[in-house]
Structure 1
């Protein structure tokens, strides 16, 4: 049974999982100030006055929390619904990695992301430091149909 209901989503998710990424749920919104620290780029107010981060386009997100890193998580992705500047989509891929071993880890991530290229219509990338690790965040809007897919080697 495929992970998602179309070839592009299923192939992209399978490629990431085979490369050691952990799939996280595509939670539509998080309350601002939640103790886990999750966030998305878009922030909005609900009718009751509470503030929420809404799953959205951009690289200012945090989909993994520090406790998960202590348990060994270093690369994760989430695929699903989101708000884009031009409307809504169900094809936003968010990738977050935490690197500790320098260039070799970065080379591995670049290879995986290069392999995703046939599935991605547009993307944005940000790198920063969090919790003593180099953090890479990628927002990618998946295509509706794949371009020519090339083989990716490990």
Structure 2
């Protein structure tokens, strides 16, 4: 989990938090077959034969449990370390949100991407049905340099 001591990470976390997204820990790995069904795109086998999912680039992930959704958590994000096809990063943003229908999910997607796109190098989006909701997943790699407006202030500081 980054310390958010850089402008970009701190700004993105603040913007998402202020707009109803709950921050989750960027858990680096989950055991395959975890009771909650948590997983990431990359699966690896350890020397002891156990299998783990590693936090990695892609939209095939689950970081929100059904119980959390029942408890009212409908939009969450994590920001931190991950494996990328080209190496490692501490700047992978994963967003998972649930809408009651396609229109609600579309609205969530537009809101989330509108908040974070100025700070990303690339992003990927996926949508599916789960637990009687439309489930939205966004993976975004954050830029390392802050974006400044014409007046010289950082984009999120306005």
TM-score normalised to structure 1 length = 0.91
Q: CA deviation at 1:145?
A: 1.2
Following superposition of structure 1 onto structure 2, how do residues 129-148 of structure 1 map, counting pairs within 5 Å? 129-148=129-148
Flag the 1:94–1:70 CA change in 2: closer, same or farther, 3 A: same
Q: CA deviation at 1:147?
A: 2.8
In 1, distance between residues paired with 2:101 and 2:128? Answer: 15
Q: CA deviation at 1:23?
A: 0.3
Q: Deviations over 1:7-39 (max 9, x none)?
A: 000000101000100000000000000001000
1:76 is aligned to 2:72: no
Judge which range, 96-105 or 132-141, deviates more: 96-105
Aligned residue in 1 for 2:49: 49
Aligned residue in 2 for 1:120: 120
Following superposition of structure 1 onto structure 2, how do residues 2-151 of structure 1 map, counting pairs within 5 Å? 4-100=4-100, 102-104=102-104, 106-148=106-148
Q: CA deviation at 1:67?
A: 0.4
**Which runs of no fewer than 5 residues in structure 1 stay unpaired?**
none
Q: Deviations over 1:88-128 (max 9, x none)?
A: 00000000001015525532441331121111010010000
In 2, distance between residues paired with 1:82 and 1:43? Answer: 13
TM-score normalised to structure 2 length = 0.89
The answer to whether the 8 Å contact 1:98/1:135 transfers is yes
The answer to whether the 8 Å contact 1:118/1:148 transfers is no
Judge which range, 97-106 or 124-133, deviates more: 97-106
Q: Deviations over 1:56-114 (max 9, x none)?
A: 00000001000000100000000000000000000000000010155255324413311
Q: How many residues align?
A: 150
The answer to whether the 8 Å contact 1:96/1:135 transfers is yes
Cα RMSD for the two superposed structures: 1.8
**Which runs of no fewer than 5 residues in structure 2 stay unpaired?**
none
